Amino acid sequence: GAGVSQSPSNKVTEKGKDVELRCDPISGHTALYWYRQSLGQGLEFLIYFQGNSAPDKSGLPSDRFSAERTGGSVSTLTIQRTQQEDSAVYLCASRAGQNTEAFFGQGTRLTVV
Amino acid sequence: GDSVTQMEGPVTLSEEAFLTINCTYTATGYPSLFWYVQYPGEGLQLLLKATKADDKGSNKGFEATYRKETTSFHLEKGSVQVSDSAVYFCALRPYGGSQGNLIFGKGTKLSVKP
C-alpha cells in the first residue's frame, strides 16, 4: 500500500478483555515500531522489529503486552486483560533502513471501559 | 539513557507571529534529530530532520539547526499560519547500535489564531 495502515481505527473494549491491533507496514520496509500515545504523555516506545533479528521489547509496559511480526510484514500488538490505563492511541511506524525516514500510521484509538 | 525535552504547551499565537519551540536532548555520540508534526485528525508526519552537528533542517517555512554545543534543536518559523495549528514533536534516533528506535519529546500543541 501507499502508507502504513492500522486497523481498527477505533476500538472500545471492556476491562479484562483481550484486544488485537494490526499494522500493515509499507511494503519492503524492514523496520517496524509500535508506540503508545497517551493524553499529555507524548509518545512512548513499545517494541521494535528489525528484519529477522530478535525484537527489542524493552518498552513493553507489562507482560500483558506482546507483539509479533509474521513473515517480516504485518504486525499484531496484543493486549491481554485490558485495563483502563491501557486507553491510548497506539501508533505503528515502519522504515526502509537504518538511516531512512519512519512513516507512521494514523493509529488505533483504544478505549477501555 | 537518551532523552528529549521540549517546551510544554499549549502555545497560542496570532497569524504571522514568529514561532520558536525549544527542544533539548541528552544522548551519547551523535544522534539524528527530527521534528514531527501531527495535524488534527491525522497521523504523525516528518517535518524536518538533521543528522549531524550544524546541519539545518527546513521544510514548509520551518527550520531547526542541530546545535551540538547546546544539545538543542529548536524549531522556528518566521510567520505562522492558521494551518500550522498542530502538535509538534521533537525526536532523536540514537547513534549507531541496533536499537534504532525514535525517542520523542512529549509534544507541544500550537494554536494559531486568525
- The yes-or-no verdict on residue B99 having pLDDT over 70 is no
Residue A70 buriedness (CB in 10 A; 0-12 / 13-18 / 19+): exposed
Q: Closest partner residue to A33 among B51, B101, B106, by Cβ?
A: B101
The three-state secondary structure class of A78 is: strand
Coil, helix or strand at residue B32: strand
Residue A104's nearest CA partner among A11, A7, A22, A32 is: A32
pLDDT of residue B71: 96
Query: 47-66 in B: which are within 8 Å (CB) of A?
Result: 49, 51
Other C-beta atoms closer than 10 Å to the C-beta of A77 total: 24
pLDDT for res B101: 75
| Residues in chain A closer than 8 A to B36 (CB atoms) | 104
Question: Parallel, antiparallel, or unpaired for β A108-112 and A10-13?
Answer: parallel
Place of cell 478483555: A17
Backbone dihedral angles phi then psi of residue A85, each to the nearest 5 degrees: -70, -5
Over residues B10-52, the pLDDT tens digits come to 999 999 999 999 999 999 888 999 999 999 888 899 999 999 9
B71: left (phi over 0), alpha (psi -120 to 50) or beta: left
Question: Looking at the complex, does the CB of residue B17 fall below 8 Å from at least one CB of chain A?
Answer: no
Residues of chain B with Cβ-Cβ distance to A4 below 8 Å are 43
Question: What is the rounded average pLDDT of the residues B6-11?
Answer: 91
Cα separation, A11 vs A70, in Å, equals 22
* Contact flag A43-B107 (C-beta cutoff 8 Å): yes
CA A14 from chain centre, in angstroms, equals: 20
In A8-112, which ranges are E strands? 10-13, 19-24, 31-38, 42-50, 65-69, 75-79, 88-95, 103-104, 108-112
Q: Which residues contact B89 (CB under 8 A, 6 or more apart)?
A: A42, A43, B6, B35, B36, B37, B38, B44, B104, B105, B107, B108
pLDDT at A2: 76
Per-residue confidence in pLDDT tens, chain A, 113 aa: 579 999 999 999 999 999 999 999 999 999 999 999 987 777 888 999 988 888 989 899 999 999 999 887 999 999 999 999 999 999 999 988 776 788 999 999 999 99
Q: Could you report the per-residue pLDDT of B38-96, keeping only the tens digit for each?
A: 998 888 999 999 999 999 999 999 999 999 999 999 999 999 999 999 999 999 988 76
* Burial classification of residue B41, based on how many CB atoms lie within 10 Å of its CB (0-12 exposed, 13-18 middle, 19 or more buried): exposed
User: What pLDDT score was predicted for residue B96?
Assistant: 67
> B106: nearest CA in chain A?
A42
| Nearest chain A alpha carbon to B100 | A98
Residue B98 banded pLDDT, cuts 50, 70, 90: very low
The per-residue pLDDT for A78 is: 98
Q: Which of A35, A98, A104 sits opposite B100 (nearest CB)?
A: A98
